[in-house]
C-alpha cells in the first residue's frame, strides 16, 4: 500500500505563493544571469538579447514563444525609454503571453459533474486526482473517484489510498472493463447525491492506437451514463517532459477534445518555461499546476502569480 499519509517535505504553513516560488527555483535560476546582463543598459544589445534567448530556450519556452517574447520586450523597451526596468518589462511580456491560459475552473450545475483525466504513464495523474479531490472538497463539493486503470493493481491501490486520505468513495474492480467502471461510478454518484466524479484512466502513449481507441470508448460510455458528460476532460502533463508536452496535448486533444491541462512536477525541473511554450502553441487552458508532494500542492493556474514566482 502506498504511504500517502506520510507528511510531505513541503511546509504546509507557507502560503501558496511561497510554495510556488520555491517550486520554480530551478527555472528561475535559468533567467538570473541574462536578466542581470540587461540591468542598467540604455538600449538592448544583441549580445544581451542572445543571452536571454538562450535562457528562454533552455527553460523550454520554445522557439515560437521565445521569438514573441523578445519582440514584445523590444517594443516595450522602446516605449519605456532609457529608465526601463528590463525585468519588469519581461515579466509584463510573459504575463501577457500566459494570460490566455488562465481560465477559472468552475463546476457546473450538472450532478454528478464528471471530470475525466488522461495522460501518459508516470506523469503523476493518480496523485493529481487525489490532490484535485482535496481542492474540490475545499470548494464545498463532495467527490467520488472512479478507478479506470483496472489492470494495474498498484494504480487501484494508489487511488484507494487517496480515497481514504480524502475520505471519499472509490469505485474500482479488478481486471474489468474500464468503461464499465465509469458507468458504475456515475450511477453510484447519482444514487449517493455526490457532486463530482473524478474519472481516472490508465496511462498510455498517444502512439498506442489500440489504447487510444479504448480511451475514446471510455469517453463514449461516460456520455451515455450522464448527459453532457464528461463535463471536463483534463490532460495531466509532467513539466519535465519539456517540448514533448506539446505533442501530447495535440494527440489527446484530437482523441478526446480537451477542456484543460494539469501541469505537474514543476518543482523538479528547470523547464518551467514550458508553460509559455504551451501558451504559444496550444489553445487549451492550463487549469492547475503542481509544485510539491503535499496534498495541497495543486492549485489553479494564475498567470500573474506564476510569473511573479518565476522572477521573484
- Give the residue with greater pLDDT, 30 vs 310: 310
Distance (Å, whole) CA 282 – CA 276: 10
Per-residue pLDDT at 83: 73
Residues 297/290, Cβ–Cβ less than 8 Å: yes
Give 45's contacts (C-beta < 8 A, 6+ positions apart). none
213-221 average pLDDT score: 92
Distance (Å, whole) CA 110 – CA 102: 23
Nearest to 86 by CA among 100, 69, 65: 69
Distance (Å, whole) CA 226 – CA 216: 16
Q: pLDDT band at 1, cuts 50/70/90?
A: very low
265-279 average pLDDT score: 80
94-119 average pLDDT score: 94
Per-residue pLDDT at 3: 42
Distance (Å, whole) CA 34 – CA 44: 12
**pLDDT above 90 for 184:** yes
Q: How far is CA 93 from CA 56, 77, 87, 185, in A?
A: 13, 11, 10, 44
**pLDDT above 50 for 197:** yes
Distance (Å, whole) CA 192 – CA 190: 5
pTM here?
0.89
Per-residue pLDDT at 244: 86
Range from 36-45, 137-146, 286-295 carrying the lowest mean pLDDT: 36-45
Paired with 115 in beta bridges are 198, 232
Per-residue pLDDT at 4: 43
Distance (Å, whole) CA 9 – CA 238: 20
- Give the residue with greater pLDDT, 1 vs 175: 175
Residue 43, classified by CB atoms within 10 Å of its CB into exposed (0-12), middle (13-18) or buried (19+), is exposed
Residues 194/112, Cβ–Cβ less than 8 Å: yes
Place of cell 484512466: 201
Distance (Å, whole) CA 191 – CA 105: 25
Give the single-character DSSP code of 167: T
Q: Which of helix, strand or coil describes residue 284?
A: coil
62-67 average pLDDT score: 89
Q: pLDDT band at 6, cuts 50/70/90?
A: very low
Per-residue pLDDT at 225: 93
% of the chain with per-residue pLDDT over 70: 93
Distance (Å, whole) CA 278 – CA 301: 13
Residues 282/307, Cβ–Cβ less than 8 Å: no
Nearest to 90 by CA among 60, 46, 58, 53: 53
Q: How far is CA 26 from CA 30, 274, 307, in A?
A: 7, 13, 14
Amino acid at each position: 500500500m502506498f504511504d500517502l499519509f506520510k507528511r510531505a517535505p513541503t511546509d504546509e504553513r507557507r502560503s501558496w505563493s511561497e510554495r510556488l516560488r520555491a517550486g520554480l527555483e530551478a527555472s528561475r535560476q535559468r533567467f538570473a544571469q541574462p536578466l542581470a546582463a540587461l540591468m542598467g543598459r540604455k538600449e538592448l544589445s544583441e549580445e544581451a538579447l542572445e543571452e536571454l534567448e538562450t535562457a528562454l530556450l533552455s527553460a523550454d519556452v520554445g522557439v515560437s514563444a521565445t521569438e514573441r517574447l523578445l519582440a514584445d520586450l523590444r517594443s516595450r523597451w522602446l516605449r519605456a525609454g532609457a529608465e526601463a526596468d528590463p525585468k519588469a518589462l519581461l515579466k509584463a511580456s510573459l504575463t501577457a503571453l500566459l494570460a490566455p491560459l488562465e481560465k477559472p475552473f468552475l463546476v457546473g450545475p450538472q450532478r454528478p459533474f464528471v471530470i475525466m483525466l488522461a495522460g501518459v504513464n508516470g506523469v503523476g495523474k493518480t496523485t493529481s486526482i487525489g490532490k484535485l479531490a482535496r481542492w474540490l472538497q475545499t470548494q464545498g463539493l463532495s467527490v467520488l473517484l472512479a478507478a479506470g486503470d483496472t489492470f494495474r493493481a498498484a494504480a487501484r491501490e494508489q487511488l484507494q489510498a487517496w480515497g481514504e486520505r480524502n475520505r471519499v468513495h472509490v469505485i474500482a474492480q479488478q481486471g474489468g472493463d474500464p468503461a464499465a467502471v465509469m458507468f458504475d461510478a456515475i450511477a453510484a454518484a447519482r444514487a449517493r447525491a455526490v457532486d463530482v466524479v473524478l474519472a481516472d484512466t490508465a496511462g498510455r502513449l498517444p502512439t498506442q492506437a489500440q489504447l487510444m481507441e479504448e480511451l475514446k470508448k471510455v469517453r463514449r460510455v461516460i456520455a451515455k451514463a450522464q448527459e453532457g458528460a464528461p463535463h471536463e476532460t483534463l490532460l495531466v502533463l509532467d513539466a519535465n517532459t519539456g517540448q514533448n508536452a506539446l505533442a501530447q496535448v495535440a494527440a489527446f486533444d484530437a482523441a478526446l477534445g480537451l477542456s484543460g491541462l494539469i501541469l505537474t512536477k514543476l518543482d523538479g525541473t528547470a523547464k518551467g518555461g514550458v508553460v509559455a511554450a504551451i501558451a504559444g502553441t496550444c489553445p487549451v487552458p492550463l487549469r492547475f499546476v503542481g509544485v510539491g508532494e503535499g496534498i495541497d500542492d495543486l492549485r489553479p493556474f494564475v498567470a500573474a502569480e506564476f510569473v511573479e514566482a518565476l522572477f521573484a
